[in-house]
Copies of this chain bind each other. A is one copy, B any other.
């Protein structure tokens, strides 16, 4: 078999995989993580809104993912204590907003190749 380096994708199995890429893909490979992040790319968003926009997610999973994403630095939790009741909103950090090119590329791919989810 002849090898043609020019034809190979840079992530192909002929090389070790980049550990940073592996870590990023592992992050997005946690169920709901990508969709929760996507739902936060606009203005600050309440818990109940995330829960309603991400189809099929449970409140428990929204909660768990938000805690994880806050720890990683992808989500910021903002509390406005002056309001009654206290207003809690979540927003994507700069780190998360820079995932936009990834999400946009996936949107383009999905429109061409992906049927909608069977359960929606």
Contacts and interface: CB of A to CB of B under 8 A. Distances in A.
A75 interface: no
Given A19-B120, A114-B23, A32 B34 contact: no
A85 interface: no
Q: How many copies does the complex hold?
A: 2
A12 B41 contact: yes
B102 A106 contact: yes
Interface residues of A, number: 66
Given A12-B39, A39-B13, A101 B108 contact: yes
Interface of A: 1, 3-4, 7-14, 16-35, 38-43, 45, 49-50, 53-55, 95, 97-117, 120
A29 B26 contact: no
Contacts of A95: 113
Nearest to A96: B113
